[in-house]
Amino acid sequence: MNTMINEGLVAEHNAKLQANLDADYAALAGVLQRRGQDIEQLTALAQTFAVAVPTWGAGTGGTRFARFPGVGEPRNIFEKLEDCAVINQLTQATPAVSPHFPWDKVSDTAALREIAQGYGLAFDAVNSNTFQDQLGQAHTYKHGSLTSQSAAVRAQAVEHNIECIELGRALGSKALTVWVGDGANFPGQHNLRGALERYLDSMRDIYGALPADWNIFIEHKLFEPAFYATTIADWGTSFACATTLGPKAKCLVDLGHHAPNTNIEMIVARLAQFGKLGGFHFNDSKYGDDDLDSGSINPFQLFLVFNELADAAEREGSTFNPAYMLDQSHNVTDPIESLMSSAVEVQRAFIQSALVDRAGLRQLQESNDVHASAQALKQAFRTDVSAILAMARLRSGAAIDPVACYRTTGYREARGVARPPKAGASSSGIV
């Protein structure tokens, strides 16, 4: 296995923190034991957790107003893999990366896969891109891609998605995530129903190209880049389309793609109930699709999502296996730091949800003991499981404190030297 960070540095870091961790872990073990819970089971469970990292997340994001580049940003998929390798090395919670085409397209896909494997990284769901025009592209997506009025544009978009499937097969992926920004900025711009009919036609062609063991994930988004009517705007549309397309089609829930005040955990419950929960793009937000770090704004909501996942897992058993990915935009932090701590936040919600005594909760609910039912969740959420997560990392060979360890390595500073920004690279936005 290739490691980007000297293993000795990690060991040194852990050695310094282990005594305190042991003490914190013992303290928490006692608290849990007094509640009848076994910390070791939870730590073992934490070690099983995995969430994919998107390759594009390794770069610095921005808004339409501006992008402020970071130091040593990766300039291609190979450098992105280096950063993803760091993230997984220090957290042991992100063993797969999710590629995006054409951004990550290379001349030798097999070699790319080998390099990733060298870092211990697999490839998760493949992402297509028909929301931008690429240099040399025959037709523009200005007026839509899979929903375009033009058969030629739709064919180009379908063909690109099918190419993504082929690239994904070569990389070992098992799913294609389709997000389209198609929609309208004005009432009347297009026929709302006609656009969805064309979408379904295009998707049927893509669906037909899926290998037998693949899934296609439909990702909805309320708005942006379309500002009046987005064709796949809500879970209802996503669900109706996935149902229309067939069993390989499932719905993907991005936490930031909903109307204000939406109860997202209930959408999770609904999709699980109706057999269409495909996976997640984790992030957090306060206003729109803010793409902030997971759990940074409303950590209780993240916990409640995992509470529904725990409920579904208990009901469905091992066949219940939605895909997890971080999907964040890191505008003012080091992406590696944000992705590491975000992976930990998602893992935290996973472990907190495992603290819920589901049979006991069911009894409280059945007796309409509203107060006690609510407190059962609150107590699980209140429990500080940091020591469990840190111990799981230690035992898996990662860092007790990934960000602190990372900062000792000088990785970012070294990347600043190794990866000078492209000449003329603009940081200006699009207003």
In the complex, least distance from residue 112 CB atom to a second copy, rounded to whole angstroms: 21
Footprint of a second copy on residues 217-256 (CB under 8 A)?
222-225, 227-229, 233-237, 239-240, 243
Q: Is the CB of 141 or the CB of 214 nearer to a second copy?
A: 141
- Size of site (CB under 8 A) for a second copy: 121
Joined tokens for residue 155: 């064919």
Q: In sequence order, which residues have a C-beta less than 8 Å from that of residue 416 and are 6 or more positions away? A: 71, 72
Give, rounded to a whole angstrom, the gap between the first and last alpha carbons of the chain.
45
Kindly report each contact of residues 27-31 with a partner whose C-beta sits within 8 Å and lies 24 or more positions away, as own/partner: 27/387, 28/384, 28/385, 28/387, 28/388, 31/383
Q: Is 22 in the site for a second copy (CB under 8 A)?
A: no
Q: Is the CB of 53 or the CB of 115 nearer to a second copy?
A: 53
Q: What is the DSSP string of 160-225?
A: HHHHHHHHHHHHT--EEEE----EESSTTSS-HHHHHHHHHHHHHHHHHTS-TT-EEEEE--SSSS
User: Using DSSP, how many helices (H) and how many strands (E) does the chain show?
Assistant: 15, 11
Q: Is the CB of 65 or the CB of 417 nearer to a second copy?
A: 65
Q: Is the CB of 117 or the CB of 379 nearer to a second copy?
A: 379
In the complex, least distance from residue 116 CB atom to a second copy, rounded to whole angstroms: 21
Q: Is the CB of 63 or the CB of 117 nearer to a second copy?
A: 63
Distance CA 290, CA 288 (A): 5
Using the contact rule CB under 8 A, the part of the chain among 36-44, 87-95, 111-119, 373-381 near a second copy is 373-381
- Number of C-beta neighbours around residue 129 at 10 A: 21
Q: Is 287 in the site for a second copy (CB under 8 A)?
A: yes
Footprint of a second copy on residues 151-170 (CB under 8 A)?
none
Q: Is 409 in the site for a second copy (CB under 8 A)?
A: no
Residue 103 gets the label, from left (phi > 0), alpha (psi -120 to 50) or beta, of alpha
Q: Is the CB of 362 or the CB of 395 nearer to a second copy?
A: 362
Q: Report the interhelical angle of 370-382 vs 358-366 (nearest 10°).
A: 160
In the complex, least distance from residue 213 CB atom to a second copy, rounded to whole angstroms: 27
Footprint of a second copy on residues 119-148 (CB under 8 A)?
131-133, 140-143
Q: Is 265 in the site for a second copy (CB under 8 A)?
A: yes
Q: Is 294 in the site for a second copy (CB under 8 A)?
A: no
From the number of C-beta atoms within 10 Å of its C-beta (0-12, 13-18, 19+), residue 185 rates as exposed
Footprint of a second copy on residues 182-201 (CB under 8 A)?
185-194, 196-197
Q: Is the CB of 119 or the CB of 345 nearer to a second copy?
A: 345
Q: Is 20 in the site for a second copy (CB under 8 A)?
A: yes
Three-class SS of residue 341?
A: helix
Distance CA 139, CA 266 (A): 40
In the complex, least distance from residue 51 CB atom to a second copy, rounded to whole angstroms: 18
Q: What share of the chain is helix, strand, coil (3-state, %, to 5)?
A: 50, 10, 40
Q: Is 274 in the site for a second copy (CB under 8 A)?
A: yes
In the complex, least distance from residue 118 CB atom to a second copy, rounded to whole angstroms: 27
Q: Is 373 in the site for a second copy (CB under 8 A)?
A: yes
Three-class SS of residue 328?
A: coil
Instruction: Tell whether omega for the bond before 225 is within 30 degrees of 0, i.e. cis.
Output: yes
In the complex, least distance from residue 341 CB atom to a second copy, rounded to whole angstroms: 7
In the complex, least distance from residue 278 CB atom to a second copy, rounded to whole angstroms: 15
Of the candidates 123, 381, 392, 394, which one interacts with a second copy according to CB under 8 A? 381
